[in-house]
Chain A
Amino acid sequence: MGKAIEIDWNIIENVIKQYSENREALLMIMQDISDIYNFVPPEVVPFLAKKLGIRESQVYSVATFYKTISLKPRGKYIVNVCTGTACHVRGAEKIMDALKQNLMIEEGQTTDDGIFSLAAVRCVGCCASGPVITVNHDTHGGLDRSKVLDVIEGYKKSAS
Chain B
Amino acid sequence: MPLSEAGRWGEINTMARLANKDALQKLRKSLQVVDRHKKDKLISLCGGSGCGAYGTAKVHQALVAELKKQGLQEKVEIKRTGCHGFCEKGPIMVIYPQGAFYPQVKEEHVQEIVEKTIKGNEVVDSLAFKDPSTKKKIYFEKDIPFYRLQQRIIFGNNGLIDPTSIEDYITVGGYSALEKALFEMKPKDVISEIKKSGLRGRGGGGFPTGIKWETCRRHEGERYVICNADEGDPGAYMDRSLLEGNPHSVIEGMIIGALAIGSKEGYVYVRHEYPLAVKNLFTAIQKAEELGLLGQNILGSGLDFRIHISRGGGAFVCGESTALMASLEGKPGRPRAKYVHTVEKGFRDGPSNLNNVETWANVPVIINRGAEWYASIGTERSKGTKIFSLVGKVVNTGLVEVPMGTSLRTIIYDIGGGIPKKKKFKAVQTGGPSGGCIPERYLDLGVDFDELTKVGSIMGSGGMIVMDQDTCMVDVARYFLDFLKDESCGQCNPCREGIKQMLDILTDICQGKGKEGDIELLEELGAMIQKFSLCGLGTSAPNPVLTTIIYFRDEYEAHIRDKKCPAGVCKALFHYEIDKDKCTGCQLCAKKCPQEAITGEKKKTHVLDQAKCIKCGICYESCKFDAVVVR
Is the pair A128, B476 in contact by a Cβ cutoff of 8 Å?
no
Chain A residues in 8 Å Cβ range of B234? 83-86, 88, 122-123, 127
Is the pair B232, A127 in contact by a Cβ cutoff of 8 Å?
no
Interface with A: B31-39, B69-77, B330-338, B528-536, which one? B330-338
> Smallest CB–CB gap between B392 and chain A, Å?
5
Q: A27-B312, A123-B235, A125-B240 are in contact. Are A139 and B327 (CB under 8 A)?
A: no
Option from B90, B328, B393 in Cβ contact (under 8 Å) with A89:
B393
Chain A residues in 8 Å Cβ range of B315? 65-67
Is the pair A24, B329 in contact by a Cβ cutoff of 8 Å?
yes
Q: Which of A15, A24, A121 has the most CB of B within 10 A?
A: A24
Q: Mark B391-427, 1 if CB is under 8 A from A, else 0.
A: 1110001110000000000000000000000000000
Q: A66-B314, A122-B232, A145-B616 are in contact. Are A127 and B397 (CB under 8 A)?
A: yes
A: number of interface residues (CB 8 Å) = 48
Is A106 an interface residue, CB under 8 A from the partner?
Answer: no
Chain A residues in 8 Å Cβ range of B328? 24
- Give A48-93 interface residues, CB cut-off 8 Å to B: 58, 61-62, 65-69, 83-86, 88-91
Q: A25-B2, A68-B313 are in contact. Are A139 and B432 (CB under 8 A)?
A: no
- Give B426-484 interface residues, CB cut-off 8 Å to A: 429, 432, 463, 465, 467, 471, 476, 479-480, 483
Is the pair B3, A129 in contact by a Cβ cutoff of 8 Å?
no
- Give B155-196 interface residues, CB cut-off 8 Å to A: none
Is the pair B392, A86 in contact by a Cβ cutoff of 8 Å?
yes
Is A142 an interface residue, CB under 8 A from the partner?
Answer: yes
Option from A23, A32, A68, A141 in Cβ contact (under 8 Å) with B50:
A141
Residue of A nearest to B390 (CB): A128
Residue of B nearest to A87 (CB): B234
B: number of interface residues (CB 8 Å) = 63
Option from A25, A32, A97, A125 in Cβ contact (under 8 Å) with B330:
A25
Residue of B nearest to A23 (CB): B330
Q: Which of B2, B54, B234 has the most CB of A within 10 A?
A: B234
Is the pair B391, A86 in contact by a Cβ cutoff of 8 Å?
yes
Query: How long is the Cα–Cα vector from A84 to B234 in the complex, in angstroms?
Result: 5
Is the pair B333, A32 in contact by a Cβ cutoff of 8 Å?
no
Chain A residues in 8 Å Cβ range of B236? 123, 125, 127
Is the pair A31, B235 in contact by a Cβ cutoff of 8 Å?
no
Is B231 an interface residue, CB under 8 A from the partner?
Answer: yes
Q: A61-B332, A141-B54 are in contact. Are A89 and B272 (CB under 8 A)?
A: no
Residue of B nearest to A64 (CB): B332
Q: Which of B52, B274, B330, B480 has the most CB of A within 10 A?
A: B330
Chain A residues in 8 Å Cβ range of B391? 85-86, 127-128, 130
26 contacts between A and B (CB under 8 A): A24-B310, A25-B2, A27-B311, A32-B4, A62-B332, A65-B313, A65-B315, A85-B235, A85-B480, A89-B392, A89-B393, A121-B273, A122-B486, A122-B487, A123-B232, A123-B236, A125-B49, A125-B237, A125-B241, A125-B273, A126-B87, A127-B87, A128-B389, A128-B397, A139-B49, A145-B618
Q: What is the interface of chain A, defined by CB distance below 8 A to chain B? A: 15, 18-20, 22-28, 31-32, 58, 61-62, 65-69, 83-86, 88-91, 94, 97, 121-130, 132, 137, 139-142, 145
- 7 nearest interchain CB pairs? A66-B313, A128-B87, A141-B53, A84-B234, A125-B237, A123-B234, A65-B332
